[in-house]
Structure 1
Amino acid sequence: MSRPLRKLGFLTIGLFEEADPRAGHESTLDIIELGEQLGFDSAWVRHRHLQFGISSPVAVLAAASQRTRRIELGTAVIPMGWENPLRLAEDLATIDILSGGRLNPGLSVGPPMHWDQVKDALYPDTADAEDFSHQRVRRLLDAVRGEPVTDFRGTEGFEVFSDRVQPHSPGLGRRLWYGAGSLGSARWAGENGMNLLTSSVVKAEESEDFAEIQLSHIRTFRAHHPDGDGARVSQGLVVIPTDSATAGQRAKYAEYAAKRTPRTTAPQGPARMMFAPDLVGTSAEIAERLHAHAAFREVDEVAFALPFTFEHADYVQILTDIATKLGPELGWPA
């Protein structure tokens, strides 16, 4: 049996038009506000560099923190290869303070996409020396959790200096998430006391069945986490309920999923990456598929992903159906 769903969240990429970026960002903020009104527990934003999606989630979530009062705000995920861990720690702590302790930063590691094309612009003097391993996240963890980042602390004239990141938000260190797509990353996240965002794109290491792969990540993570079976895991899948959709919307959603289905049938590319199938149908149909999903049965938190390229009205319909139809089918609120 599935665990009763304790936390219901959603994820958006926040697309915008190159000629009118404000409209897309405002749409994202409106969607987050709607999520709070519908009772969602969390709203998450993706992170895109040199694309037409949110490039600065810290800025977007700072704005969202002032338009909402209850809903948790997360990133899924910030690619740390683009970031200075100390500076990012300052930004995240500031947003957490402004939001009243509602921030859930999700992180990942690895070289930036199109590294050879972007490295001279991003790290013109240090590209060959940059460390894109888990150690980059470890530096952020230590900074957020209040470890010293300098050996100087004291007063110079009228200025007072701290040896740790300021502001310090005490609870933020327990709300850091790692987006893992492999067994090694899941184990590392557990060993370092993070929470786990299961990815909708995973590496086919021990199986070619997506649900079984995701399940192995969850169990490996919890086996190496200090909290054991109580360690927090959030599952991310593309879920599109059609209960209140128009005929035109249903046709659009079916076409969207059909175009993406071929990549879900076998490992893709040299890295053997597996993609999760999109779940499209009535809430009752989707709930039946989720209850049969090996990984879903072991989580009690989700962040269902909104499709990339839909219209604002589509997102309103999908979120409304998730909150009012699908959530209750899954036992939410628990």
Structure 2
Amino acid sequence: MTDSSRPLRKLGFLTIGLFDPADPAAGHESTLQVIELGERLGFDSAWLRHRHLQFGISSPIAIMAAASQRTSRIELGTAVTPMGWENPLRLAEDLATVDLLSGGRINPGLSVGEPMHYDTVKHELYPDSAELEDFSYARVDRLARLVAGEPVREFSGKQGVVEEFSNRVEPHSSGLSERLWYGAASKKSAIWAGENGFNLLTSSVVFPEEHQEPVFAQIQQSQIRAYRAAAEASAQTRGPARVSQGLVVIPTDSASVKQREKYQRYVDERTPRTKAPQGPKRMLFAPDLIGTSEQIAEQLYAHAGFQEVDEVAFALPFSFDHEDYVQILTDISTKLGPALGWTPSKG
């Protein structure tokens, strides 16, 4: 096996929290059990995708609040929360509250842009301001300022006998602003994240520059390097600039024959979209990595994007069953992680 000169320092996983609309409680409970399992297996972090008007987690903050009371160590994040659906002030309040409940374990991952299928939902989401909403970077920057404790208004102090008002978002959770991440798939967004003090989340999707060859790993590497250069040159850094990679990996070491067949069908169905850029923005998908942990480790060591990072949040396949996630997470923790130089967390 190829040796890595940079051992993997942090290992996490990402889940969509899929559920059956006929029995949504069971799917949410499964997600909480998966997070609990992740802590027992020594994972450093568990991340939740954000899905609106779909059969996946629509309120990851609520799930993180519940998970914070069933775990004690594992960090909890969102990858990512699309800010187009959120009021930054209200979101800042919720994030700070859950961060305090968790003992400072929340890692909000954020993105900007118009909500998906906006024309079909804007009449309910923003009935009076749909055409005026700002979906630019300014929206996430506003959240960052509010989380950091910058004043919201001039008014504060005591009013009447018991009412006391603050001029900043309350509660305030010290340190949360250093754990804000931006989910970037383009060089432009990666540079913006670095210039504005965010950590960087990279995933299995990138948008190439016009001049770039459609080679996923090389494009991701160039984006990470551009981010680091921007972060180093910026005076806005809130803490050490961190980068996390989030590819789909499916180790099969302890999988049954039936599971291996199921996993391979899943990968085969998704592989054609990785062969060429998709759509007008030339979206490029990374191939899913499937095989033994040794085989996946070899592929990762050869991956130009992986070579740039020392922490990952491997994405779990969307449509698998609970027992599949147990097997995959167990293999990642006991076989793939150690093969990448990672040591499980304890306590």
TM range (shorter): over 0.9
Q: Which residue matches 1:177?
A: 181
The equivalent position to 1:197 in structure 2, one of 195, 201, 218, is 201
Unpaired runs of at least 5, structure 2: none
Cα deviation per residue 1:141-200 (whole Å; 9 max; x = unaligned)?
Answer: 000011011121111112111111111011000000000010110001001111000021
- Match in the other structure for 1:243: 253
SS at match of 1:129: coil
- Report the AA paired with residue 222 of structure 2: S
Q: Does the aligned pair in 2 maintain the 1:2–1:298 contact within 8 Å?
A: no
Q: Could you tell me which residue of structure 1 aligns to residue 74 of structure 2?
A: 71
Find the partner of 1:286 among 291, 296, 301: 296
Confirm or deny: 8 A CA contact 2:152 2:169 kept in the other structure.
yes
Partner of 2:128: 125
Secondary structure in structure 1 of the residue aligned to 2:131: helix
Could you tell me which of 146, 155, 158 is aligned with 1:155? Answer: 158
**What amino acid maps onto 2:182 in structure 1?**
Y
After superposing on structure 2, the runs of 4+ consecutive aligned residues of structure 1 that deviate more than 2 Å are: 226-230
Kindly, what percent of the aligned residue pairs are identical?
72
Q: Does 1:98 align with 2:98?
A: no
- Helix, strand or coil: the match of 1:225? helix
Query: Cα distance, 1:207 vs. partner?
Result: 2.9
**Two-structure CA RMSD over aligned residues (Å):** 1.3
Match of 2:308 among 290, 294, 298: 298
1:236–1:227 Cα change, 3 Å: farther
Tell me by how many angstroms 1:226 deviates: 3.9
Write the distance in 2 (CA, Å) between the matches of 1:305 and 1:191. 27
Q: Matched residue of 2:79: which SS? A: strand
Contact 2:195/2:233 (<8 A) preserved: no
Q: TM-score, normalised by structure 1?
A: 0.98
TM-aligned CA distance change 1:82 to 1:204, over 3 Å: same
215, 220, 240: which one pairs with 1:209? Answer: 215
**Partners of 2:79 and 2:110 within 8 A in 1:** yes
Question: Of 205, 224, 227, which aligns to 2:230?
Answer: 224
Residue type matched to 2:325 in 1? Y
Q: What is the SS of the residue equivalent to 1:164?
A: coil
